[in-house]
Amino acid sequence: MKQFLSEDFLLQTETAKRLYFDYAANMPIIDYHNHLPPDQIAENKTFANLYEIWLKGDHYKWRAMRANGVAEEYITGNADDYTKFRHWAATTPYTMRNPLYHWTHMELRNPFGVTELLSEKTAEKIYNDCNAQLPQFTTQRLLQHFKVETLCTTDDPVDDLSHHQHIANKPFGVSVFPTFRPDRAMAVDNPAVFNQFTDQLSAVANTSIESFEQLLEALKGRHDHFHAAGCRLSDHGLNTFYFANASSQELNNIFRNARNQQAANPLENAQFKTAVLLAVAEWNHQAGWAQQFHVGAIRNNNSRLLSRLGADAGVDSIGDWQVAEAMSRFFDTLDKKERLAKTIVYNLNPAYNEVFATMAGNFQDGEVPGKIQFGSGWWFLDQKDGMEKQMNALSNMGLLSRFVGMLTDSRSFLSYSRHEYFRRILCNLIGTDVEEGELPNDVAWLGKMVQDICYYNAKAYFEF
């Protein structure tokens, strides 16, 4: 019987172990998509306790606690920090076979060195032991500890990026760049969100926004501002891809209606989103950026918790929209103009893995290896089964060897263990193929392939 979370965790063959320990384990990290707060990096924040650094804001854990019958008072309510932690500790044994069980113990082991299993019985000791170490684990020290070389936060176009500038002026060995995320700029199906954004954009751009054209002009100014701050990626969170043509008059009518609190109907919503996304995509190509599309979430399903807690409360799930035709037309429109930037598409519904993987292959053009990427397993799929399915689909339909690899997509500074998790799964996948005679036993070449996927492909692709 193998020991839980041993040195060889997830590595089932000798080849897998060799690939991991000799090639993958010590590679630096390029975390090209996360939700870390840049202000906490800039101020080199010290966390008060284990709850603050680990549980506060972690909706993965919130979902598990609710499923385990924990009252909301002890999840997001007014209970004290240790009480909330203790309820998570009591929930942890019930998460076996959920990736949370692996992540929880990997995150306690690295960086804190905790080897005990978390439970209600061990909660107090683990809480105190970790708290005693927190003064040395500031945000910047943690990033250095995990060998993060570059990270990209996720930022609204109206953000002033002062924290990124502060970090650039006081370097600590980790490059921190913004990512342009203009989702609110096209939220005409939700006038409250759209109008708040438009007013904020008008203020930060110091210009009046009275038309669709003026909206794009102000947004382009922010795109330029982000570029000057080192940004080289946009990111777009979509429930599905959109493609619907519209005239300038139609777009201005949709804009004016939204400004007058009238929500766009489904066709108008698709028309407006198509126009904004195509414009940003052309700017991305012109600026030499990469663009990311996170596709497939149905968000904020529980309106009761949404009204109490706001977005990102742990009430999102996998959607099932038809995506292929609109995605094809969107990319083809850009490709016909020779304005299709480097692109990563992330799929949240595993039923569509092959759809995404084959669509990426349609628009490779020899300009850049792996120019159009089928991105890593995302959100509900960034676990062992989801990662394996994504890499198998990519292997079958494209070139795994050109994959830009893993990202944390996390709000927690302890989530860098997910890169170790990914690297072990990757090495086991390849190592098993070698042991089964499905790949040659050319460890030097396969080791290079592993290192490329873990680090070098992303470094070449993003050109930070």
Q: What angle do CA 224, 338, 237 make, to 5 degrees?
A: 55
- CA–CA separation, 20 vs 424, rounded Å? 6
- CA–CA separation, 126 vs 364, rounded Å? 50
Of the chain, the percentage scoring pLDDT greater than 70 comes to 100
Pairing mode, strands 297-298 and 317-318? antiparallel
User: pLDDT, tens digit, for every residue of 246-278?
Assistant: 999 999 999 999 999 999 999 999 999 999 999
Q: Which residues have C-beta within 8 Å of that of residue 6, sequence separation ≥ 6?
A: none
CATH number for the domain running over 49-136: 1.10.2020.10
DSSP single-letter state for residue 375: P
DSSP single-letter state for residue 108: H
Q: Which residue has the tokens 């490059």?
A: 175
Amino acid at 259: R
User: pLDDT, tens digit, for every residue of 65-117?
Assistant: 999 999 999 999 999 999 999 999 999 999 999 999 999 999 999 999 999 99
Residues counted in the chain: 464
- Are 410 and 53 contacting, i.e. CB atoms less than 8 angstroms apart? no
- Are 91 and 65 contacting, i.e. CB atoms less than 8 angstroms apart? yes
- CA–CA separation, 86 vs 365, rounded Å? 53
- Are 254 and 194 contacting, i.e. CB atoms less than 8 angstroms apart? no
Q: Which residue has the tokens 């304005």?
A: 339
Average pLDDT, integer, range 216-235: 99
- CA–CA separation, 198 vs 191, rounded Å? 10
pLDDT computed for residue 265 by the predictor: 98
Q: Where are the domains of the chain?
A: 14-48+137-462, 49-136
- Are 176 and 153 contacting, i.e. CB atoms less than 8 angstroms apart? yes
- Are 146 and 29 contacting, i.e. CB atoms less than 8 angstroms apart? yes
Q: Which residues have C-beta within 8 Å of that of residue 410, sequence separation ≥ 6?
A: 34, 35, 36, 418
Amino acid at 89: A
**Interhelix angle 59-67/81-91, nearest 10 degrees:** 60
Q: Give me the CATH topology for the region 14-48+137-462.
A: TIM Barrel (3.20.20)
Of the chain, the percentage scoring pLDDT greater than 90 comes to 94
Average pLDDT over the chain, rounded to an integer: 97
